Structure 1
Amino acid sequence: MDRGGEIPGSGDVREVLVAGGAPETLAGKVAETLGEHAAEALREDPWQLLAVPGVRPDQADGFARSLLGPACEPGDERRALALTGWLLERAALEGHTALESSALRDALAKASVPDPDEALRTAIAEGAVLVFQDALDAPAGARPRAAEDEDAEQPVRVLLGLDRYALAEESLADGLARLASTFAPVQDGEAPVGDAEWEGAAAAAPSASAAELIRTVAAHGLVSHSGGEAARAEPAALVAAARAMGLRAYAAAHTEDGRRRLAAALSEAPGTGPEAGPEADPDEAPEAASAAVTVAGLLAGAEGPGRDEEGALALDLLAVLDAPQLDVETAAMLVESLPDGARLVLSGDPGVLWSAGPGRVFADLVAARRCPQVVSRTPDPGPIGELVSGIGIGELSQVEAPGKEVVIVPVRDAGEAVHRTVQLVADSVPRAIGVPPEQTQVITPGHGGAAGTRALNAALKDRLNPGPGRFGGFDPGDRVAYTPAPGRTVQGTVVSADAEGLRLDCAGTPVVVVREEVGELVRHGWALTAHQAAGARWPAAVVVLPGDAAAGLTRAWVYTAFGRGERHLSVVHGADAALPRAVAEIPFKDRTTRLRALLQAQVPPAPTG
């Protein structure tokens, strides 16, 4: 940066932005996105403004008209290229790693591109997008192909994607294939048998499901493990057993809260040492605490074993819990970091929401059936566990809750939903359940709307920590959600603010967010979306379902939100019949990805039975 912290080139960029009628405040983002020659790039191609986060096509079109005058046309090749990239980036925000060519063509037509087919041909020729052909599955009930049909062309779908996500997905598939081939199972149907140490660990496992997981991991380099909250004890038992055998074994969770719960499970697992019992604080059990990490901390080198001289993680076994929250780029970095000969277990609840970033890594791995799959038989206990288990199979049932573990609060409109939510958090739950406001999490479908996170957080701040918001809308004591990277939410509390920025306490870790980034990276955190809450749990959860959110509900959303409360769940219900309909009929919002097809092309089917 130059003097005053200004990004080099942003002064020239301001001149171009003003000439095109765009806000000067975009100068920093434009210079950061397009580089030191940003001003020259915008003069040559005004539609490159679309590459800047937050800029819409209509804004880029207006900017181009101001700069180009009569020469600005909707069929301009530069416009079509920029729109193609923008549409694929937009799709990535919705979880897709690629789009079917027909979907992208239709989107370009809606954006008034006169010849979408020609636009796509140009984008492919210019290398702006990559093209793939993935084989389609045979329809259910279709007859097997006869020998004389084997030379016939197999149906394929044509996908288009950005190289960023294509390379990540292909790298991930290669890495998973490498791990899957590390410990090849015995042929001719003979079951693979672990050595005496592994078998002894399985025999001492705390449950049949944990024993099955240990035996499976003994013979395979890549294993998927599915189960709910209670099933987290099984990969914990695996890691504890592996460490007792002298292996460098670690377990990684999605959030700091998940890490703490994982450390507690490790401290209770057999073989973690006499200092760690059921009553132990995970942070006071060194062995358990050191084996439990977050994915982000592991990759950054801030937690876990560090890296060896070749740059690989210095470990023999890694169990990744909350695996559905892995986006394709994070998963690729993780798998690329594993040394040859390491074992990887991807463990998670298949009913929860997929990652905030692009991809559906865990779901694709399970669907590909290219590694052994261990399905836990350990149910989640209590009324909340019973309710959530039913949702997972598409049934929304009333459950007996003698201790008010589950409470339904009907409301007529969003205003009443906000009022009742504040009442629950501040008064009812502390009085009836004994859970204080700071241990209760509000979850709602989105940020906007009359009962979204913004409205709820404003009302909750006014009740729980009123103040003038002296620093960017925040005051000491405010509960916040900090986003250090896209798709990653860290909860914290505002401690103070000074010239350096906003000072937060994030689960005991001090964080300073510089003044310029506070508005972008920090939100109030009494209310979160379900994506932000995934991977964490609280003693009590209040789930808000306003009527205007009905269209976006899915079974996965309801399953995730309802499962965040450990002792208590209140549902502020204004969605009427949309809630049971979503649970019964809308499992998830589908995503277009390539990982399943890539794995099926590279790895032989996993043994069954």
Structure 2
Amino acid sequence: MTTPEESPAPAAEQHAGTVAALAEAIRAVGKSGADDQSAPAPRADGPSADAQRRAALDAVAEVLAAGGAPAQLAPAAVAELGEGAAELLREDPWAVLALPGVRPEHADGFARGLLGAEAGPGDPRRAQALVAWLLEQAALRGHSAQELGEVSEALRAQHVPDPAGALQAVLVDGRVMPFQEELPMPPGSHDEDEEPPVRTLLALERLALAEESLGEGLVRLLSTFTPGEDAEEPSGEAAAEPSDEAADGPSGEAAAESPAEAAAESPAEAVAEPAAPAVPVQPGPAAWEAAAAAAPSRSAQELVRTAAGSGLVLHTGGEAARAEPAALLHAAAGLGLRVWAATWTGQGRDSLAALLPAGSPAAGRIGTLAELLYGSGAELPRAVDGTLPLDVLVVLDAPLLDVETAATLLEALADGTRLVLSGDPGGLWSAGPGRFFADLLAARACPAVASRTPDFGPIGELVSGIGIGELQPVDAPDKEVVILTAKDGGEAVHRAVQLLTDSIPRALSIPSEQTVLITPGHAGPAGTRALNAAAKAKLNPGPGRFGGFDPGDRVVHSPALGVNLPARVLDGDAAGLHLELADGGRLTLSPQQAGKLRHGWAVTAHQAVGRRWPAAIVVLPEDAAGQLTRQWVYAAFGRAERHLSVVHAAGPALAQAVAERPAAARTTRLRSVLTDQ
């Protein structure tokens, strides 16, 4: 076996060899992907289904034990690999890499336990599992694709003797899809016949198909959008006596009858079609211009005018700029259009609703994105074809959309729907793979409206400066911004908890439950674990009698990647742990779900996105330097509404991050997909 240290050829030559070996596979596979050879498992209902599951779990536990793996992995194995997981693991022990938390060294040990001396580093099954695992790990870091050379080098680091052969086998198998992208010509190149450089990217099938679907959906909205037309002025008697079929709308044309009016006039029809509101007449330019002129600010007027003429619009701005999508909602609803807005969190939904004028026709037409896509549909029933019956959809917090969620959103929109994506480009990107909003901005595929409304007060001034790479002191006469230094993580924790429990409640009358601690990571001397332990000891000490939690504990429930629900523990019993959610409502977690719960006095910036608190305490320990970027600092500092305290032990790393590290790079394909389409 050839190790990286004994590599017989330079890395550049090996990379070139890998590209050559993959050329045939790339031509064969292209961009169409492999056919899905998997068949759905047969359905079994009632007691037999339970018996089959128990049998599958027992069989998997037996195989895991034979390979020296913990039996606790059995439920995850059945969930990920299906009821045939035991047989699959016997045939391919490295398939265990697909389970959460399993690393290559664990899989190698498991394979040796099952196969003995036959489990070598060059086993094709090992290489194929490693490629999928590497791309999954890249997806957790936000990449929707990886350059071929990076994957090849990572395989070599795992002592795979033939990375090129391994990659080719994976492509033929259909687990991974290859793509070639043209790169910009190098500066100073003037030869028109010179071929542009290309790079080869590898992507997991699900992510590749999501970006292709996303590109198709965006192009579909742009190509099917048709703006309304102004009604012709009637003449003679027709002008004096409007017909019974039409009532004067905002622009003089026929105004659409609302669903409520239709139900009142024709109850039989309303009962027959409860989920199909009438399609309104599209207002023309004059009606939109009148609505824009009534908007409360120049930026809001520009957004309304831009939305009038395009099926896809991007809107950028900070917290204060959220008033502009609210103005667009009000205007579109006033024009009789079927309009809806989606936010990332319940708090975002409520704050957007508060920005609507009193009595706005858009009231009640705001929900969370999860409710819109995956809810019961009680507020917004789907059309017969499964699409959302909307003329205008405004999505706030759009940078938080990963490519798979964005593709699901686009698939739910009917042809001709106006989609307005609004968000702060300086904030954190999605927890899942991709940089959907940033790629759309960079591609310039549709109109973009940049808000000119600044964020208010010292906190807004500080955050705005960070957004352009400047960390400058600001005047804070009422202690809106306070910077404290600490020599190490231990002192940072002490100071932060003192602020949370004493200084901020006493000096600013902001109670502890309205203040959040934000830090870069979970581990370390001042990570969320250390901060939460200290905050609990001070604010809600107890034995943790419900799986480590006590009534009154602040917690964060994360049911899915990028979804974080702040809550408070009520109590626990045989049914599970009972929570009161910060956004309203109650939730009971099973013991298994409660095992993944975290305390919530302290959170990471990624857990805090989409929300704001009256006060925020940002803790920057001395080991945070490698995690800090301008994007992270901007997002963390921007979580504060009235007061921001920064407990600073990171030295010059903070200023360097703001000035020199805008964001961690992500490899994605959406821009090239849009170019191709």
Give the TM-score, by structure 1 length. Answer: 0.92
Please state how far the C-alpha of 1:551 moved relative to its aligned partner. 1.1
Aligned to 2:375: 301
Please state how far the C-alpha of 1:244 moved relative to its aligned partner. 1.0
The alignment covers a number of residue pairs equal to 574
Work out the CA distance in 1 between the residues paired with 2:126 and 2:368: 42
Structure 2 residue 508 is matched with structure 1 residue 508: no
The percent identity for this pair of structures is 61
Change (3 A) 1:154 1:111: same
Aligned to 1:91: 138
2:127 aligned residue (74, 80, 85): 80
Please state how far the C-alpha of 1:142 moved relative to its aligned partner. 4.6
Alignment of 1:171-210 (within 5 A): 171-183=213-225, 195-210=285-300
Aligned to 1:272: 360
Structure 2 residue 533 is matched with structure 1 residue 458: yes
Change (3 A) 1:7 1:593: farther
CA deviations on 1:519-565 (whole Å, 9 max, x unpaired) are 12x21111111111111101000000001111110000000000000
Counterpart residue identity of residue 465, structure 1: N
Change (3 A) 1:405 1:512: same
Change (3 A) 1:60 1:312: same
Work out the CA distance in 1 between the residues paired with 2:298 and 2:52: 59
CA deviations on 1:9-49 (whole Å, 9 max, x unpaired) are 01011111111011111111111111111111011000000
Contact 2:184–2:196 (CA under 8 A) maintained in structure 1: no
Contact 1:182–1:220 (CA under 8 A) maintained in structure 2: no
Counterpart residue identity of residue 367, structure 2: V
Aligned to 1:244: 334
Aligned to 2:109: 62
Aligned to 2:153: 106
Work out the CA distance in 1 between the residues paired with 2:54 and 2:426: 44
1:157 aligned residue (181, 192, 199): 199
Contact 1:7–1:32 (CA under 8 A) maintained in structure 2: no
Counterpart residue identity of residue 399, structure 2: P
CA RMSD of aligned residues (A): 1.7
Larger deviation: 173-182 or 4-13?
A: 4-13
Alignment of 1:193-592 (within 5 A): 195-267=285-357, 272=360, 288=363, 290-302=364-376, 304-506=379-581, 507-520=583-596, 522-592=597-667
What runs of 5+ residues in structure 1 fail to find an aligned partner?
187-192, 274-286, 603-609
Larger deviation: 384-393 or 3-12?
A: 3-12
Work out the CA distance in 2 between the residues paired with 1:585 and 1:196: 47
Secondary structure of the equivalent of 1:512?
strand
CA deviations on 1:228-281 (whole Å, 9 max, x unpaired) are 00000001110111011111111111111111111111246xx616xxxxxxxx
Counterpart residue identity of residue 402, structure 1: P
Work out the CA distance in 2 between the residues paired with 1:391 and 1:294: 29
Contact 2:53–2:83 (CA under 8 A) maintained in structure 1: no
Secondary structure of the equivalent of 1:494?
strand
Contact 2:176–2:202 (CA under 8 A) maintained in structure 1: yes
Larger deviation: 300-309 or 172-181?
A: 300-309
Contact 2:226–2:416 (CA under 8 A) maintained in structure 1: no
Work out the CA distance in 2 between the residues paired with 1:5 and 1:320: 43
Work out the CA distance in 1 between the residues paired with 2:405 and 2:181: 23
Work out the CA distance in 2 between the residues paired with 1:177 and 1:96: 23
Contact 1:379–1:385 (CA under 8 A) maintained in structure 2: yes
Counterpart residue identity of residue 557, structure 1: W
Contact 1:313–1:338 (CA under 8 A) maintained in structure 2: yes
Counterpart residue identity of residue 222, structure 1: L
Report 1 or 2 for greater relative contact order, CA contacts < 8 Å, sequence distance ≥ 6.
1
Work out the CA distance in 1 between the residues paired with 2:397 and 2:224: 24
Change (3 A) 1:8 1:308: farther
Work out the CA distance in 1 between the residues paired with 2:224 and 2:516: 43
Change (3 A) 1:388 1:574: same
Please state how far the C-alpha of 1:154 moved relative to its aligned partner. 2.5
Counterpart residue identity of residue 203, structure 1: A
Counterpart residue identity of residue 380, structure 1: D
Please state how far the C-alpha of 1:600 moved relative to its aligned partner. 2.2
CA deviations on 1:166-205 (whole Å, 9 max, x unpaired) are 111111111011112233799xxxxxx9522111110000
Aligned to 2:82: 35
Contact 2:521–2:527 (CA under 8 A) maintained in structure 1: yes
Please state how far the C-alpha of 1:498 moved relative to its aligned partner. 1.5
Give the TM-score, by structure 2 length. Answer: 0.83
Work out the CA distance in 2 between the residues paired with 1:236 and 1:585: 35
